[in-house]
Structure 1
Amino acid sequence: MGFGGGSPLVSETSKQANAIAKALEKITGEKWEGNITMTCGYPDIRKLNRDFLVPTKQNILLPLYPHFSRSTVLSTAKLVEQTIKFCPVSYEGWVAPFHSSQVYLESIRDLILDFFQNRLNRKDFLHSDSFQGVSNWETIDLIFSAHGIPIRLIEKGDRYREEINSNVENLKRLLYEKGFRGKCHTSFQSRVGPSKWTEPNTITMLEQLGKNGVKRVAVYPISFVSDHLETLEEIGEQLKKIAYNNGIAEYHRIPAPGIYPKFIEAMAKIGLESIQSSKNECICKKLGGHFPNLKSGECPINF
């Protein structure tokens, strides 16, 4: 498997931005433009013009993180703040983590079911040549693999793990309503460094399932919204080998949503919801991470 010397993340995110803009135009009848920026890599958020980073009714900022973490949503907000000189998270046009949104949940449920039943448009996904219908999909073991974070963040109050678990429970409920009866598991991948991270690791999960005699597994990257090295290479290749080496005979990589039409429509609707009214609360503090005013100990946002 090759990626031409780099990750497809930027090109895939650009596709999403353009697709969401078109979905917004369809819903509102107005002209929208989709632009992207990265906190790590290019185009660098630190070099973006201020006008692109101020959330308003006409300028929606959509961090593509379904779940809150200090390491993702909060760090993104602080980078935006460096440019615009105020924290954006409670203003119209800033999209909060959307893991509990019903339209988002239903889009992911349908993505998984369409994958199982071989109904996805392969042109919408990378490395889709490996896609195939899953026989007896109703009873396959389903692993929801999330990007791990250091435990020290959880100990500081970060609710990321809690939101992952809630997301899994909501998806399980929706899948079971549609006939799925397989066992669902939650695990974490992409650990870096020697410190303790969220567990169980997806490697450990696959080893344990194989040891327990499980023969059929599908893996969905629950914290990712587009395919890149951590889904295509880590889940698609590395974890597949581990599964086979531990006696699992059938292994499926379910793609991240990317430009799956129902997901794109959900993102457009969630974006529009963000401009209906300001949140009037410190979202970061509520979700387990914020940088308060050092003198007062309170969030510096004036409501």
Structure 2
Amino acid sequence: MKDDNPGSPIGIVLLNMGGPDALEAVEPFLYNLFSDRDLIQLPLGALLQKPFARLISRRRAKMVVENYRAIGGKSPLLRWTSVQAQGIAARLGSAFRPYVAMRYWAPRADEAVARMKADGVERAVVLSMYPHYTGATTGSSVKDFRRAAVTLHPNLKYRVIEQWYDWPGYLDALALCVREGLESFPEELRPLVQILFSAHALPQKFIDRGDPYLEHVLDTTRGVMKRVGNRSWRLGFQSRSGPVKWMEPDTVEVIDQLAAEGRQAVLLVPISFVSDHIETLHEIDIEYRAHARAKGIAHFARSPSLNDRPEFLTAMADLVRQEVENWR
């Protein structure tokens, strides 16, 4: 695409899932999530998707509210994504302006696009904050952004970065997190630590239809381990729910296997998440840690999330910079 206006500001739009900003927002957030047929195709077709979504979100909200209450009463995802957007833009220079578009809670794509139009932004790089591509996450968010752009800012020119699972700077930053996690163990235990990568699960039908998500996750784990060194590692998939066939193995099942093997030290590395949110702060830090200890694993830790680590923000800025240079 030719850059017809090289002097105008360039928007940096980060796409992410979003999360409730208060306990009262949990149920409507879940409703938005379950209403998205790109993510979850409830039975009996599109016509009944929203009634089913209403029912399921109402039933699940009570439990999920307590999970959010345990981590401070809201999701930190917007805060971290906003910090990441600002950090990336700052590294690129004053011509770049940061925006955030969440899929299932505010600020939504409509708001981000409207803000860019009001700010006089005619060009943008749209960056999915899911490193590994699947139509259920990146695909849905990009589709939503495109809809908003056509409706609210049809003159906006933009390029989309949909995947970056093998971007060297990302792998370098994630490897640093793994090394930091290993250093949290007593020195005498470090050679014995079992690394367990945990990615967000997808229904198996997404993989069967050709989504490259599993291949991307595996490429990332291999790239990280090349940097970390010759150590034992496993891969599991977390956050499975509902009566469908999911990707295997479940992270909990891998923890059980490690316990049965007599492993006493496990480092869990969240690999499909680039910032802390409910799956790291509650599912891993509270639920999985308690489960591992109950199974006899005495030393269980999680590697730190990428969040606002300088190495990660620099890597993402370099990725965006490459995209802008290719645009010209």
Whether TM exceeds 0.5 here: the answer is yes
Deviations 1:194-241 (A, max 9, x none): 101111010001011101111110001100000011001101110011
SS at match of 1:251: strand
Unaligned stretches of 5+ residues in structure 1: 118-131, 279-303
Distance 1:143 1:57 in 2: 44
The structure-2 alpha-carbon separation of the partners of 1:57 and 1:273, relative to structure 1 and needing over 3 Å to count, comes to farther
More helix by share: 2
SS at match of 1:83: helix
Q: Which residue in the other structure is 1:276 paired with?
A: 325
Give 5+ residue unaligned stretches, structure 2.
1-68, 152-156
CA–CA distance in 2 between the matches of 1:134 and 1:222? 23
**Normalized against structure 2, the TM-score is what?**
0.71
TM-score, structure 1 length as denominator? Answer: 0.77
Equivalence for 2:228: 175
Q: Which residue of 1 aligns with 2:17?
A: none
Name the residue aligned to 2:71. 3
1:37 maps to 2:68: no
| 1:132-184: CA deviation from partner (whole Å, max 9, x where unpaired) | 455243431001100001101111111101111111111111111xxxx4311
CA distance in structure 2 between the partners assigned to 1:108 and 1:215 by the alignment = 24
Aligned residue number for residue 17 of structure 1: 85
Q: Secondary structure at the match of 1:242?
A: helix
1:65 paired with 2:118, answer no
- Shift of the 58–72 alpha-carbon distance from structure 1 to 2, 3 Å rule, reads same
Equivalent-residue separation in structure 2 for 1:81 and 1:31 (angstroms): 23
Whether 1:105 and 2:154 are equivalent positions in the alignment is no
Deviations 1:240-276 (A, max 9, x none): 1111111111000112200011011001101111222
Q: Could you tell me how far apart the structure 2 residues matched to 1:70 and 1:267 are? A: 21
How far, CA to CA, are the matches of 2:103 and 2:224 in structure 1?
29
Q: Percent identity?
A: 29
**Partner in structure 1 of residue 161 of structure 2:** 95
Q: Cα deviations across residues 76-119 of structure 1 (Å, max 9, x unaligned)?
A: 11111212239xxxx863223111111111111122213333xx
Aligned residues: 251
The alignment partner of 1:34 has SS state of strand
Check the 8 A contact 2:113/2:149 in 1, yes or no.
no
2:181, 2:301 within 8 Å by CA — same for their partners in 1? Answer: no
CA contact (8 A) 2:181 2:302 kept: no
Q: For CA contacts below 8 A with separation 6 or more, give which structure has more relative contact order.
A: 1
Listed as ranges, the matches of 1:154-173 within 5 Å are 154-173=207-226
Q: Is the 8 A contact 2:194 2:233 kept in 1?
A: yes
**Structure richer in strand, relative to its length:** 2
Distance 2:194 2:270 in 1: 14
